[in-house]
Amino acid sequence: LSLDYSTNAEAAYQNVLVPFEILCYNRNKAEPLPTLKASHNDTVSEEGQKVRTGAGYPQLPAEIAAKGHTPPGAQEGPGPQQRLPPRGPRLQRALPRLRHHPP
């Protein structure tokens, strides 16, 4: 997976999130990995992308989403079919602010 970090495209912020999530996969202790993987699969799933674009985030390109998806059976813990619990109202209020402030 290679990304052009010099882009000024509106969708560039989400490009930064992809390597961040990959880093989380590789650098965290074993205990949180099932939750991180479930979160990642939720993010790159078709349904997850619909939720995010509905909230004003740019669409993740399909080729990146396909590369970022963990195939069933390739992980321990929750699989892509198991969704994370709904986000609380506090996070829902924060999403519009987060969307406009790149890391």
* Distance between CA atoms of residues 69 and 51, nearest Å: 17
Instruction: Decide: helix, strand or coil at residue 92.
Output: helix
pLDDT tens across the length of the chain (103 residues): 565 667 677 656 555 565 555 555 555 566 666 777 777 778 788 888 888 888 887 787 777 777 766 555 554 444 444 444 455 555 555 555 444 444 4
Q: Which residues contact 71 (CB under 8 A, 6 or more apart)?
A: none
